[in-house]
Structure 1
Amino acid sequence: MKYTDERSRPVPPLPSQEPVRLVDRHGRRHEHSSFTAPDPAVLAELHRAMVIGRRFNQQASTLARQGRLAVYPSSMGQEASQVGGVLALSERDWLFPSYRDSVAMVTHGVDPVETLTLFRGDWHSGYNPHRYRCAPQCTPLATNASHAVGLTYAARRKGRDVAALVLMGDGATSEGDAHEAYNFAAVWNTPVVFLIQNNHWAISVPVHRQSAAPTLAHKAVGYGMRGYNVDGNDAAAVHAVVKHALAEARDGGGPAIVEALTYRIDPHTNSDAPQRYRDAAEVEYWAERDPLARMEALLRNEQVVDDGLLEIYERDGEKVATAVRERMAGEDKLDPGSLFTDVYAAVPPALEQQRRGLAEELKGV
């Protein structure tokens, strides 16, 4: 019997160090040899979602300052990466968010108040993952990555056409969980796209202190995956690249890493002091590359939107913020019995005994 080395897959090409860009910071189209911008209707929807997402960020940050939330990690400045990636998903696909991805979840259709449950110290994930096809929002870095690999592997074995988008930051790529997820995804050829939002800072640790790779997308090659480097403040480019990567993954092309180069304008959380580790000039540099201003300039230049339509987008964002503010204004009605729901498909006898015991105790109260 002749020996054959099964490691004969084609070597994936190195990603470009120059990020894919379809719209420059002044709102002008930028030609690219491999990718084209979505049609005007999709561009307008991307902008609308970013406007709503920014207003949501602002409102959630205010609620944290008021004590309505224990903490809030804002994604202001990263809206293009989250919105562009999420709107590339199909109705069958799953989203696997981390703690800074509330805007992505709202864009994906998760109830805005339920999205904030994690930051109120409430139980479970705060929403039904199956209803929204959105996994629980993870706080430990990169733990969502392995979950996405497992879900897509199981779905493929069942013959289901399901892909997954994992959202993670540059800091998450330094975790062992990320390595395990990348490795298993590539070996099992699961349809997962890992979207790394490289916002330059893992709390106070700069990305160059975490990786010596030319880009984080270059890490893909070592695992046998495709890697893409994209301008994370260009929603059109993020959408086009992620959509392409998901389509290839569904067609058996395997998983991919997409690095979106962006920036966290706000502090790490409302309890952070970013002035201790980064310069104001750096923040100003990235503020001039605001993803919302960029898309608005493009849409105005090409007469896709006007003042009237932009005002509607602003009102849509304000409606979301108002609803969140009003619904979180009152005191929560807590049900201790809910601690036992959505834990097991079939409740073990010991846990059922505890549930009945708690119910009896509460009757006496």
Structure 2
Amino acid sequence: MSQPRSVPGAPPAPDAPTLPAHRFYELMRTARLLDDEAVALQRQGVFPAYVSLRGQEAAQVGSAAALDRERDFAFPTYREMAAALTLGVDMVGYMASHRALWHGGTYDPIASRFGSVNAVVGGPVPHAVGWAIGERLRGSGGCALAYFGDGASSEGDVHESMNFAGVFGAPVVFLCQNNQWALSVPLDRQVAGGSVAARAAGYGMPGVRVDGNDVEAVYEATAEALQRARGGGGPSIVEAFTYRAAPHSTSDDTGRYRDPAEERQWRDQDPIDRLGAAMRTAGLADDAFFASVEDRARAEAERIRDAVSAAPEPAPSDMFEHVYREPTEELARQRRAWEQEAL
């Protein structure tokens, strides 16, 4: 198998192999196990809700690994856990958002170059464009990576952001994880023509669809788009065609709208299994490698699980902090009312 350039994601463990394919595999496997733990935490009542990324690990790891962590910035939705892991985000702080300890997570977005968890459909996209324009004005050479799904591609905010970016040449990569289901609405009823990348021509930018279950293909496409943006070539759309192997969220039931045969078909294209098989065929990994990754990944997933479960709840008064730079009289009135009721 081919080897991509470099993978700047989270630093490997001291005893971990450091070839790009090895790092990709370990990040994806860790994300899968942590995702399983998160679903279990929701079933146990620790998390009020959770959105799984199962099946989309390659699209997230490959795209996030292409970023320059000194200059670039990623703007996630509520499903980019594997991207956060790749960028070295404090994963206990990330998972704190799913436990509803603090909106957007308790990690440092500036230090990690990974924006706060954003639950607004299409919400990260205008933020990414605005940041990218600002960085161009500063002359920093930084590029933005905007995550969104095929469902969000129908939002007005996404269209307006792409048009604005195209007109003004913003250094931004629009990364669409087309998992073929906008909650319960299939792709053919959501995206006219079936492709988000095809819309790029209308905004005056290049667009490419790649196999979203091939981590190296996603990495290379994202890296190329970032290089183009950094060189003044403006924005691009990268559509990672993948599949949401899990329900939309832990409150969703795919049995009500999806064909089990379709799910079985995509299980055979699991991105982690595909990468592992390719590594074996190319002689890049053996049983010892996979066993060592499994041990490290499981230990890390369990560490994060235990730490977020034990994290203290914030003070209730925190809901009044950081709302405005200078609190309004209405906010002060609400706080006084809350304090009186809390007595």
Fold match by TM threshold 0.5: yes
TM-score, normalising length from structure 2? 0.89
CA positional deviation for 1:351: 8.8
> Are residues 357 and 205 of structure 1, via their aligned partners in 2, closer, same or farther at CA, if it must alter by over 3 Å?
closer
Whether the 8 Å contact between 2:95 and 2:308 is mirrored in structure 1 is: no
Whether the 8 Å contact between 1:53 and 1:107 is mirrored in structure 2 is: no
> Are residues 307 and 192 of structure 1, via their aligned partners in 2, closer, same or farther at CA, if it must alter by over 3 Å?
same
Q: Which of 151-160 and 314-323 deviates more?
A: 314-323
CA positional deviation for 1:248: 0.3
Whether the 8 Å contact between 1:196 and 1:260 is mirrored in structure 2 is: yes
CA positional deviation for 1:51: 0.6
What is the identity, as a one-letter code, of the residue corresponding to 1:49?
A: L
**Shift >4 Å, 4+ stretches:** 340-344, 348-362
State whether structure 2 residue 201 is matched by structure 1 residue 221. yes
Cα distance in structure 1, aligned partners of 2:213 and 2:205: 24
Aligned partner of 2:36 among 54, 58, 61: 58
Whether the 8 Å contact between 1:81 and 1:262 is mirrored in structure 2 is: yes
What is the identity, as a one-letter code, of the residue corresponding to 2:44?
A: Q
> Are residues 52 and 164 of structure 1, via their aligned partners in 2, closer, same or farther at CA, if it must alter by over 3 Å?
same
Partner of 1:15 in structure 2?
A: none
What is the identity, as a one-letter code, of the residue corresponding to 1:66?
A: Q
Cα distance in structure 2, aligned partners of 1:356 and 1:283: 49
CA positional deviation for 1:340: 4.8
Aligned counterparts, 1:143-182, within 5 A? 143-182=123-162
Cα distance in structure 2, aligned partners of 1:61 and 1:350: 41
- Deviation digits for residues 123-143 of structure 1, max 9, x if unmatched? 332222212111111112111
What is the identity, as a one-letter code, of the residue corresponding to 2:242?
A: T
Cα distance in structure 2, aligned partners of 1:255 and 1:301: 36
- Deviation digits for residues 306-365 of structure 1, max 9, x if unmatched? 222222211221122211221233373422343355445x54585996799699979x96
What is the identity, as a one-letter code, of the residue corresponding to 1:295?
A: L
- Deviation digits for residues 217-261 of structure 1, max 9, x if unmatched? 101010101101100000010000000001101111110111111
Aligned partner of 2:94 among 115, 130, 133: 115
CA positional deviation for 1:207: 0.8
Partner of 1:43 in structure 2?
A: 21
What is the identity, as a one-letter code, of the residue corresponding to 1:73?
A: V
Aligned counterparts, 1:283-302, within 5 A? 283-302=263-282
Cα distance in structure 2, aligned partners of 1:284 and 1:165: 31
Secondary structure of 1:167's aligned partner? strand
Partner of 2:220 in structure 1?
A: 240
Aligned partner of 1:137 among 117, 140, 147: 117
Superposition RMSD in Å: 2.3
Cα distance in structure 1, aligned partners of 2:199 and 2:31: 30
State whether structure 2 residue 47 is matched by structure 1 residue 69. yes
Cα distance in structure 1, aligned partners of 2:311 and 2:100: 14
Aligned partner of 2:316 among 328, 336, 339: 336
Partner of 1:93 in structure 2?
A: 72
> Are residues 272 and 156 of structure 1, via their aligned partners in 2, closer, same or farther at CA, if it must alter by over 3 Å?
same
Secondary structure of 2:141's aligned partner? coil
State whether structure 2 residue 233 is matched by structure 1 residue 253. yes
Partner of 2:172 in structure 1?
A: 192
What is the identity, as a one-letter code, of the residue corresponding to 1:308?
A: A
Uncovered stretches (5+) of structure 2, i.e. residues with no partner = 6-17
Partner of 1:5 in structure 2?
A: none
What is the identity, as a one-letter code, of the residue corresponding to 1:57?
A: D
Aligned partner of 2:300 among 316, 320, 323: 320
Identity %: 40
Uncovered stretches (5+) of structure 1, i.e. residues with no partner = 1-28, 30-35
Cα distance in structure 2, aligned partners of 1:233 and 1:212: 23
CA positional deviation for 1:109: 1.4
Whether the 8 Å contact between 1:94 and 1:164 is mirrored in structure 2 is: yes
Q: Which of 73-82 and 129-138 deviates more?
A: 129-138
Partner of 1:203 in structure 2?
A: 183
